[in-house]
Amino acid sequence: MIEKAIMGQALAALSDELGEENVLWRKSDLVPYTRDTFTISPEEDNKYFPDMVVLPRTTAGVQEVVRVARKHRIPLLPKGGGSNRTGMLVPIHGGIVVDTIKMNRVLEIDPLNLSVTVQPGITLKELEEKLSGRGLALNQEQGSVKVATVGGAISSFGFSRKNQKYGTIADRVESLEVVLANGEILRTGPKVLYTSTGYKLSQLFVGAEGTLGIITEATLRVEPLPEAKETVLAFYDDFWAALRAAERLRGSCAAFVGAEAYEVENAEELGAPEGKKGIFFVMFEGLKGEVEAQAEFVRDIVRETGGALASGYDPEGLIGLYATQWCGLRAISRFEDEVLPYIPAQHIREYYDRLWNEIMPKHGLSPFSYDKLSMDVGRYSMLYGRFSIPESETGWQEYRRAHREAARTAVELGGSICACTGVGISHRDNLDLEFSDVALDVMRRIKRVLDPDNIMNPGKKLPPG
């Protein structure tokens, strides 16, 4: 909590600079800023309040906020759409939330050099719409595109289901403008995708979760819109059969956009024959002839691996709707969580068995039956599993134990605790499983150099120490 006298000074200074309407401090206005889509525990829900919320429009406005925060050593929490899943925005130390919602302008679209420069608060959906009007696309398809912002996606290392062809947001960043904790403006480098000069400073801020500075401008790589699109959707008896088809695809030279395999209770609503529990879909985009040929190649894989090709459906609609449905549910329920590890392909079966047949039952947690598991079979072997938590104090304690055991299992099998959605509070205390003391120390030293007073989103991303 900020002391009363300091709060008065900070409020006056920031209201002068940003305008009174852009500084929120009444408790009722602060309630929406007490949590994101993560629950620390049911008792701690809405427990932590920020002291103030500011809504700057410009880099100069952000600089002024940082100046005031630095003077009084007030924590700063840069915020985009607030859709992160790991508690990155829970104001555990109070402070000032820097809501970037009004920093949402497209500053330049450069079709010749295939880049776009934006303020950080524009949502991915809005940006795609603006680019589409100019025949271009960013191609970052997250389940949260409607709310996730460019600043938030960069800062949480956003994962896109179109990653095989277009990479993730990390691969799109050309250059960033960042207001550092000392108020300086850092330009990370020229607005080019490829350069061998300097250290790649922009990548330092990818996945930094607001702990190193506030991104005020981003230049990103874009591509021309494709001539044709096609999705092949197929059903299998079970997840493992779908995965075998995915392995065939990955072992081929087919140029697909992204692909996923699912385990579901019932795929009939997607038009599957009765009893099918495995889903496999592959997306293609590009020149018409190329897309047709690649899609036919995958249909052959499906036939050869005993799958049933879906017919008479709108793949874009069905797959889009499916994603939105499970994402929407994920955002609202408190008594559920997810695992999102990267697991090397040869260990997926072992991870699956240990997670669902040992760890989860031991701690009384149950998978969501209609949507137990999905897996990215594009560039990444990212698994996604959803489970519910019993609504009791012991239920919550067991869940935290299971959470750590699942993390340990991922690391033991040569993977990573959390392939996407970042660390926040949720995975912070498990980082020691994945990184050596030396690696954690280097990270802490980087943080100290850029943020010596620890005002940038303190208590997130790194374990205390």
Ligand X SMILES: Cc1cc2nc3c(=O)[nH]c(=O)nc-3n(C[C@H](O)[C@H](O)[C@H](O)COP(=O)(O)OP(=O)(O)OC[C@H]3O[C@@H](n4cnc5c(N)ncnc54)[C@H](O)[C@@H]3O)c2cc1C
Measured over the CA atoms of residue 249, residue 154, residue 341 and residue 390, the dihedral's sign is negative
- Asked if residue 57 binds ligand X (CB under 6 A), the reply is no
In terms of DSSP bridges, do strands 52-54 and 96-99 run parallel, antiparallel, or are they unpaired?
parallel
Q: How many residues bind ligand X (CB under 6 A)?
A: 38
Distance CA 262, CA 305 (A): 16
- State which residue, 178 or 298, has the beta carbon closest to ligand X: 178
- Asked if residue 40 binds ligand X (CB under 6 A), the reply is no
Measured over the CA atoms of residue 72, residue 73, residue 75 and residue 79, the dihedral's sign is positive
Instruction: Return the residue of 85, 93, 363, 372 that touches ligand X, per CB under 6 A.
Output: 85
Instruction: Return the residue of 79, 162, 172, 276 that touches ligand X, per CB under 6 A.
Output: 79
- Asked if residue 77 binds ligand X (CB under 6 A), the reply is yes
Distance CA 212, CA 205 (A): 7
x/- letters, 411..440, toward ligand X (CB under 6 A) = ---------xx-------------------
Stretch that binds ligand X, among 8-16, 80-88, 291-299, 363-371 (CB under 6 A): 80-88
Closest residue to ligand X in the complex (CB): 152
Q: Are 426 and 92 in contact (CB under 8 A)?
A: no
Smallest distance, Å, CB 75 to ligand X? Answer: 11
Distance CA 298, CA 291 (A): 11
Q: Are 275 and 235 in contact (CB under 8 A)?
A: no
- Asked if residue 172 binds ligand X (CB under 6 A), the reply is no
Q: Are 127 and 136 in contact (CB under 8 A)?
A: no
Instruction: Return the residue of 25, 33, 38, 159 that touches ligand X, per CB under 6 A.
Output: 159
- Asked if residue 120 binds ligand X (CB under 6 A), the reply is yes
Distance CA 340, CA 237 (A): 24
Distance CA 440, CA 305 (A): 45
Segment 192 to 231, residues that bind ligand X, using CB under 6 A: 209-210, 214-215
Segment 324 to 343, residues that bind ligand X, using CB under 6 A: 327, 330-331
- Asked if residue 36 binds ligand X (CB under 6 A), the reply is yes
- Asked if residue 375 binds ligand X (CB under 6 A), the reply is no
Nearest to 417, CA basis, from 400, 397, 399, 431:
431
Smallest distance, Å, CB 439 to ligand X? Answer: 21
- Asked if residue 147 binds ligand X (CB under 6 A), the reply is yes
DSSP character string of 370-406: GG-EEEE-SS--BEEEEEE--SSHHHHHHHHHHHHHH
Q: Enumerate binding residues for ligand X (CB under 6 A).
A: 36-37, 77-85, 88-89, 100, 120, 142-144, 147-149, 151-153, 155-156, 158-159, 209-210, 214-215, 327, 330-331, 420-421, 457
